[in-house]
Every structure is written in structure tokens, then in C-alpha cells.
């Protein structure tokens, strides 16, 4: 498939207005995406667990622009954004850029006025990025509009199978934020072409197509909110630092190798190997940021305290609990469902003290986005 597959045929239906709502979750990468080429093409493949509780719910209302007024269909995008019921201009530039990037694939964008009402199930100031859940929810709403314009599910024919709908929604979400393309399905999604994952593509995320051992069923993710402030380094800046980075090529090779390795780990249920691979990925991501120019330390002292406590707990108990990190100080604590009771006790007794205001979020891997009728 190439980008051209996502340019639609002419729309057949005349639609004045409508509303669609989708909820879409966040995801946590096991093998990380860090470094991209032009047009949001990743430098290496990544794989993530889809989350269940941390999600964005977006309602998109659209109405045809009045062509007789000064605001002609060709003029510009027309949209307003509401976050938790409050008009919010803070997201407008990001959505404007997104619309510009996807207009060629959604040629109706300038013909309508859009009202985007969005809310997150996790607190704003949690330090949890909402771009993956937010961009995927918006992409799905826009795909629902396109489906209507093509004449509904039946009339839109072969081009609008569920598979095409999901692929194009993921393709669009990627153009909003790379990791967003991994949020539509679950429990595991691969983004980025890799020889050992059939169907994998740089253009969109695909549901992991192979057998997964029962050990990974309902895998738990408790997110420890160490630092709820604004991200110190935006992902755009971070990805850019991989250009000309002295270790970048080796890192991209390593990520490819780790995708091959995690495939057999997921099949055999080898949790010791899983722990090693996932923690090494997290620390490598941070090592890339420490060794770029300019350089950044995105962990906080409490991030390290938590990591050391997790290692000590694992040594003492033989637990398979492990951690991963995004490009920030918060810690995702990952563990199998059968350890949930014990690990949660450990988290409450020993780790919560390192969280800002004692805040943490209990999540579990989930199945992806949902259309809300």
C-alpha cells in the first residue's frame, strides 16, 4: 500500500451536517519509536500495548459552510475546539497542522465547519501525553464523516471495509502524532515495516498478527506520576535530535532486532526475557536523549528511586514486574495479571511516596478505540 491508496474517490452523498463520537486510548511502547523521517515516517518499527483506562473521548460535529457568505469552501479550515466543555485555543495550532497534512486524503475538510469537543479520562496535568489518544480519536471521527460522504457503509463499497477504515484512520492519526497510529486496536500494535511482521507498514499501525502467550493476557500497567508538569522536551524536538546523532544508526538497528526478539518472547511467554528487553528499550530511549546535542536528562531523582526499588523487589521476590518510560519522568510499571495483588501492595507501600501528590493510575491492556453512538 502507498499513500495514494488513501486518496478517496469522489464523494457521492450530499451531507449537510452530522455528529460522530469516538473514544480512543493511549498506548505504551515496548520497543520505542524515537526518530522519524519526512512525513512522519518512523526510522524504526515499534510495538506497543494499547491501554484501556487512559483515553480521549471526542465528539465531532460538522456542518456545511454557507458558500454564499464570505467564507468560501476553498478559503481555509474552519473549526473550534472545546476541552472539557471549555473553549480551548491551545490545541488549535496542532489541529491546524494536522488538517494541512491530511487535507489531500480528506478533501472535504474545507467544505465544513467543525466543532471538536474532547475530554480525557486522565487529568490534564498528569504529564501523560494525550496526543496519541486525542489524535486517534479525531482521525476516527473524520473517517466516520468520510464514510458518510461516500454514501454510508454499504454504498461506500469495497474501499470502505473495516480493514480499510482502520488502516486509513491509523494512517491519518500517524500524520497527527506518530504514536497515535498505534492506539486504534489492541492489545498489541506494530507500526513500521519489519520483515518478520506480516502486513507491517511505515504508513499505519497493524494489530500484532501472531500468537501471544497467556502470560500477557490482561497485562497490568500502573502509571506512577512522578512529574505532572509540561514535557521538558517536546516530541518534535526529541525526534529531531536523532538527526545526526552519533549513535542513531545503531539504535535503529537495535530496535529492529528487538522487534524480532519480542516476537518469540510474546509467543513463548518468557517473562524474564520480556523484562530485559522492555527495560533496556526504556533506558536506551533516555540514553539517546542524554547523548544528543543539546542533551537532556528527562528522568527525575524519583524516577531512579522507583527503578531501584523495582529492581530490589524483583531480586527479593522473583517477581516479573518491570518498568518502562516515555520521554519524561513518569514510570509505567508493567506486570502480569496473576501478580496484580502483590505488586499493587508493593506499589502502595514503597513507590507511591515518590509520586507527585501520591498520584498514580491503574491501567490494563485494552482492545482499542470504540465508536460511541
Q: How far is the CB of 327 from ligand DP6 (least distance, A)?
A: 4
Q: Which is nearer to ligand DP6, 148 or 286 (CB)?
A: 286
Helix (H) or strand (E) holding 121: none
Q: Which of 372, 277, 364 is nearest to 54 (CA)?
A: 364
Q: Which is nearer to ligand DP6, 24 or 156 (CB)?
A: 24
Residue 79 near residue 89, CB atoms below 8 Å: no
Q: How far is the CB of 30 from ligand DP6 (least distance, A)?
A: 9
Report the alpha-carbon distance of residue 357 to residue 47 in Å, rounded. 31
Residue 29 near residue 208, CB atoms below 8 Å: no
Q: Which of 180, 192, 78 is nearest to 133 (CA)?
A: 180
DSSP 3-state percent helix, strand, coil across the chain (nearest 5): 45, 25, 35
End-to-end CA distance of the chain: 31
Q: Which of 76, 108, 106 is nearest to 92 (CA)?
A: 76
Q: How far is the CB of 94 from ligand DP6 (least distance, A)?
A: 9
Q: How far is the CB of 31 from ligand DP6 (least distance, A)?
A: 8
Q: Which of 55, 111, 115, 106 is nearest to 79 (CA)?
A: 115
Q: Which is nearer to ligand DP6, 8 or 127 (CB)?
A: 127
Q: How far is the CB of 223 from ligand DP6 (least distance, A)?
A: 13
Q: Which of 328, 331, 368, 323 is nearest to 352 (CA)?
A: 331
Residue 185 is given by DSSP the state B
Between CA 332 and CA 329, with CA 127 as vertex, the angle to 5 degrees is: 55
Residues that bind ligand DP6 (CB under 6 A): 29, 32-34, 40, 46, 129, 131, 177-179, 235-236, 239, 285, 326-327
Distances in Å between the alpha carbon of 63 and those of 113, 283, 334, 357? 5, 47, 44, 43
Residue 224 near residue 360, CB atoms below 8 Å: yes
Q: How far is the CB of 18 from ligand DP6 (least distance, A)?
A: 28
Strand 78-83 relative to strand 112-120, pairing = parallel
Q: How far is the CB of 155 from ligand DP6 (least distance, A)?
A: 34
As given in the structure block, the three cell numbers for residue 206 are 497493524
Which residues fall within 8 angstroms of residue 137, CB to CB, at 6 or more apart? 22, 23, 24, 55, 56, 57, 58, 118, 369
Strand 331-335 relative to strand 220-224, pairing = antiparallel
Q: How far is the CB of 345 from ligand DP6 (least distance, A)?
A: 29
Q: How far is the CB of 90 from ligand DP6 (least distance, A)?
A: 16
Which residue's CB comes closest to ligand DP6? 178
As given in the structure block, the three cell numbers for residue 179 are 504514536
Q: Which is nearer to ligand DP6, 43 or 146 (CB)?
A: 43
Q: How far is the CB of 335 from ligand DP6 (least distance, A)?
A: 20
Q: Which is nearer to ligand DP6, 29 or 275 (CB)?
A: 29
Q: Which is nearer to ligand DP6, 284 or 319 (CB)?
A: 284
Amino acid at each position: 500500500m502507498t499513500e495514494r491508496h488513501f486518496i478517496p474517490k469522489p464523494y457521492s452523498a450530499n451531507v449537510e451536517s452530522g455528529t460522530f463520537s469516538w473514544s480512543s486510548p493511549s498506548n505504551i511502547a515496548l520497543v520505542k519509536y524515537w526518530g522519524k523521517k519526512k512525513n512522519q515516517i518512523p526510522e524504526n518499527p515499534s510495538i506497543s500495548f494499547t491501554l484501556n483506562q487512559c483515553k480521549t473521548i471526542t465528539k465531532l460535529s460538522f456542518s456545511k459552510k454557507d458558500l454564499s457568505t464570505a467564507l468560501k469552501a476553498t478559503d481555509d479550515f474552519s473549526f473550534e475546539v472545546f476541552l472539557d466543555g471549555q473553549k480551548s485555543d491551545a490545541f488549535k495550532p496542532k489541529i491546524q497542522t494536522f488538517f494541512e497534512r491530511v487535507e489531500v486524503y480528506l478533501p472535504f475538510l474545507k467544505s465544513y465547519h467543525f466543532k471538536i469537543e474532547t475530554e480525557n479520562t486522565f487529568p490534564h496535568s498528569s504529564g501523560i501525553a494525550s496526543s496519541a489518544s486525542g489524535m486517534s480519536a479525531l482521525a476516527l471521527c473524520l473517517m466516520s464523516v468520510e464514510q458518510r460522504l461516500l454514501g454510508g457503509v454499504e454504498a461506500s463499497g469495497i474501499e470502505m471495509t473495516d480493514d480499510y477504515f482502520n488502516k486509513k484512520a491509523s494512517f491519518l492519526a500517524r500524520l497527527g502524532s506518530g504514536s497515535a497510529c498505534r492506539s486504534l486496536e489492541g492489545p498489541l500494535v506494530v507500526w513500521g515495516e519489519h520483515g518478520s511482521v506480516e502486513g507491517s507498514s511505515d504508513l499505519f499501525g497493524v494489530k500484532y498478527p501472531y500468537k501471544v502467550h497467556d502470560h500477557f493476557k490482561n497485562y497490568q500497567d500502573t502509571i506512577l506520576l512522578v512529574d505532572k508538569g509540561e514535557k521538558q522536551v517536546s516530541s518534535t524536538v526529541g525526534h529531531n535530535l536523532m538527526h545526526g546523532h552519533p549513535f542513531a544508526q545503531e539504535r535503529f538497528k537495535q530496535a529492529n532486532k528487538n522487534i524480532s526478539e519480542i516476537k518469540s518472547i510474546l509467543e513463548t511467554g518468557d517473562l524474564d526475557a520480556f523484562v530485559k528487553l522492555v527495560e533496556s528499550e526504556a533506558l536506551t530511549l533516555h540514553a539517546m536523549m542524554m547523548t544528543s546535542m543539546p542533551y537532556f536528562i528527562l528522568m527525575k531523582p524519583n524516577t531512579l528511586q522507583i527503578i531501584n526499588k523495582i529492581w530490589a523487589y524483583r531480586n527479593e521476590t522473583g517477581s516479573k514486574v518491570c518498568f518502562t518510560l516515555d520521554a519524561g519522568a513518569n514510570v509505567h510499571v508493567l506486570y502480569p495479571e496473576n501478580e496484580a495483588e502483590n505488586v499493587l501492595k508493593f506499589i502502595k507501600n514503597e513507590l507511591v511516596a515518590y509520586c507527585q501528590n501520591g498520584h498514580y493510575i491503574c491501567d490494563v491492556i485494552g482492545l482499542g478505540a470504540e465508536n460511541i453512538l
